[in-house]
């Protein structure tokens, strides 16, 4: 009798396991901003841990590359460190009858990076503009040492490259005497090796370099959130149309306190103040 009851119990367990709710299987494809690449990967990893069966593939290449992939229908989400350009909006409208959906997921301060050995600590926006237009070519023109300025810029596919050009250079072209860093990490690496170098990038990438004050304002979390720091921007997720299913659920989670906590803990500024 005991053997029969034990066998029946095992059979019930097997039946229950076979009839339990199946794990949802789906995938999300994301591509775009190199500034957001590491952060997006961390968000994806955390979401996948909470949702077994969901696979999220994250790639960089720059905002422009992400937008092109979105227009071609190759991805579900484009990450972008800038607004869409008019020609990109037109391509979306022509191909899909939609101008795309934008989701603000975080705030960022576009920072001016300096080597820690550079005595310059504050720059005005005009001084930054003149440096990257090669109107100033020596650090003594902005209160520094008598040393030549070495300019480090992001690659032209980068949303950060375009944002800096539009908002700091007033749409003017960078001067030709620049070194291109393919990623923010490579920009920082070049600046660390050269005490005369200057570059730019997101506030989350600030280890082992100095962040200049801009108009005497530091890019702190509070100053960025309140727009007191003069070069702030939002970071975006773009989709072709109103998302559904796991794509919508992932975006909703990123905007929720769970996702925003990861954003805050990794150096970016969350959409709302968080005390934990």
User: Does residue 210 sit within a domain?
Assistant: yes
When mean pLDDT is compared across 17-31, 32-46, 85-99, 170-184, the lowest value belongs to 17-31
Residue with tokens 């350009």: 85
What pLDDT is attached to residue 206? Answer: 75
Considering the domain architecture, whether residues 203 and 135 belong to the same structural domain is answered as yes
Going from the C-alpha of 197 to that of each of 131, 152, 184, the distances in angstroms are 11, 7, 14
User: Does residue 103 sit within a domain?
Assistant: yes
Helix 63-71 to helix 86-96 angle, to the nearest 10 degrees?
A: 20
Considering the domain architecture, whether residues 55 and 95 belong to the same structural domain is answered as yes
What pLDDT is attached to residue 5? Answer: 40
Considering the domain architecture, whether residues 147 and 121 belong to the same structural domain is answered as yes
How far apart CA 127 and CA 141 sit, in angstroms, is: 9
User: Does residue 9 sit within a domain?
Assistant: no
What pLDDT is attached to residue 2? Answer: 40
When mean pLDDT is compared across 144-148, 180-184, 249-253, the lowest value belongs to 180-184
pLDDT cut 90: percent of the chain above it: 87
Considering the domain architecture, whether residues 46 and 147 belong to the same structural domain is answered as no
When mean pLDDT is compared across 9-23, 133-147, 191-205, the lowest value belongs to 9-23
Q: Give me the CATH number covering residue 175.
A: 3.40.190.10
Per-residue pLDDT at 21 exceeds 70 = no
Q: Which residue has the higher pLDDT, 239 or 273?
A: 239
Per-residue pLDDT at 16 exceeds 50 = no
Torsion sign (Cα): 48, 50, 52, 54: negative
Residue with tokens 């997101």: 202
**116: pLDDT confidence band, cut at 50, 70 and 90?**
very high
pLDDT tens readout for residues 63-106: 999 999 999 999 999 999 999 999 999 999 999 998 999 999 99
Q: Which residue has the higher pLDDT, 45 or 273?
A: 45
Considering the domain architecture, whether residues 149 and 240 belong to the same structural domain is answered as no
Count of domains forming the chain: 2
Average pLDDT, the chain: 91
Torsion sign (Cα): 190, 192, 193, 194: positive
Considering the domain architecture, whether residues 251 and 214 belong to the same structural domain is answered as no
User: Does residue 3 sit within a domain?
Assistant: no
User: Does residue 5 sit within a domain?
Assistant: no
Considering the domain architecture, whether residues 103 and 240 belong to the same structural domain is answered as yes
Per-residue pLDDT at 169 exceeds 50 = yes
User: Does residue 119 sit within a domain?
Assistant: yes
Considering the domain architecture, whether residues 71 and 116 belong to the same structural domain is answered as no
Identify the domain containing residue 179 by its residue range: 111-225
**208: pLDDT confidence band, cut at 50, 70 and 90?**
confident
Per-residue pLDDT at 14 exceeds 50 = no
Residue with tokens 């050995």: 117
How far apart CA 115 and CA 181 sit, in angstroms, is: 15
Are 264 and 274 spatial neighbours (Cβ–Cβ below 8 Å)? yes
Q: Which residue has the higher pLDDT, 224 or 13?
A: 224
What pLDDT is attached to residue 241? Answer: 93
Instruction: Determine how β-strand 77-80 pairs with β-strand 26-32.
Output: parallel
Give the predicted TM-score (pTM) of the model: 0.85
User: Does residue 15 sit within a domain?
Assistant: no
Considering the domain architecture, whether residues 174 and 240 belong to the same structural domain is answered as no
User: Does residue 40 sit within a domain?
Assistant: yes
What pLDDT is attached to residue 23? Answer: 56
Going from the C-alpha of 267 to that of each of 109, 136, 179, 202, 207, the distances in angstroms are 10, 31, 26, 9, 11
Considering the domain architecture, whether residues 102 and 237 belong to the same structural domain is answered as yes
Query: What residues does 181 pair with on adjacent strands?
Result: 154
Per-residue pLDDT at 236 exceeds 80 = yes
Per-residue pLDDT at 6 exceeds 90 = no
Considering the domain architecture, whether residues 143 and 69 belong to the same structural domain is answered as no
**10: pLDDT confidence band, cut at 50, 70 and 90?**
very low
Considering the domain architecture, whether residues 165 and 63 belong to the same structural domain is answered as no
What pLDDT is attached to residue 152? Answer: 98
């Amino acid at each position: 009798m005991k053997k029969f009851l034990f066998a029946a119990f095992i059979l019930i367990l097997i039946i229950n396991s076979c009839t339990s709710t199946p794990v949802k299987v789906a995938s999300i494809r994301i591509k775009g901003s190199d500034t957001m690449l590491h952060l997006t990967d961390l968000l994806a990893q955390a979401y996948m841990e909470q949702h077994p069966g969901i696979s999220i593939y994250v790639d960089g290449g720059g905002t422009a590359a992400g937008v092109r992939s979105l227009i071609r229908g190759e991805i579900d989400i484009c990450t972008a460190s800038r607004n869409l350009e008019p020609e990109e909006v037109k391509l979306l409208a022509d191909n899909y009858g939609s101008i795309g959906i934008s989701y603000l997921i975080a705030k960022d301060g576009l920072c001016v990076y300096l080597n820690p050995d550079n005595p310059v600590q504050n720059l005005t926006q005009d001084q930054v503009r003149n440096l990257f237009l090669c109107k100033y070519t020596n650090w003594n023109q902005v209160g520094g040492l008598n040393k030549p300025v070495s300019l480090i810029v992001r690659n032209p596919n980068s949303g950060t490259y375009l944002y800096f050009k539009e908002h700091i250079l007033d749409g003017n072209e960078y001067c030709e005497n620049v070194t291109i860093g393919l990623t923010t990490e490579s920009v920082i690496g070049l600046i660390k090796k050269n005490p005369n170098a200057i570059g730019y990038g997101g506030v989350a990438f600030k280890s082992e370099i100095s962040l200049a004050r801009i108009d005497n304002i530091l890019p702190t979390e509070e100053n960025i959130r309140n727009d007191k720091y003069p070069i702030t921007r939002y970071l975006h997720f773009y989709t072709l149309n109103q998302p559904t299913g796991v794509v919508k659920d992932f975006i909703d989670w990123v905007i929720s306190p769970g996702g925003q906590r990861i954003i805050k803990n990794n150096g970016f500024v969350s959409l709302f103040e968080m005390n934990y």
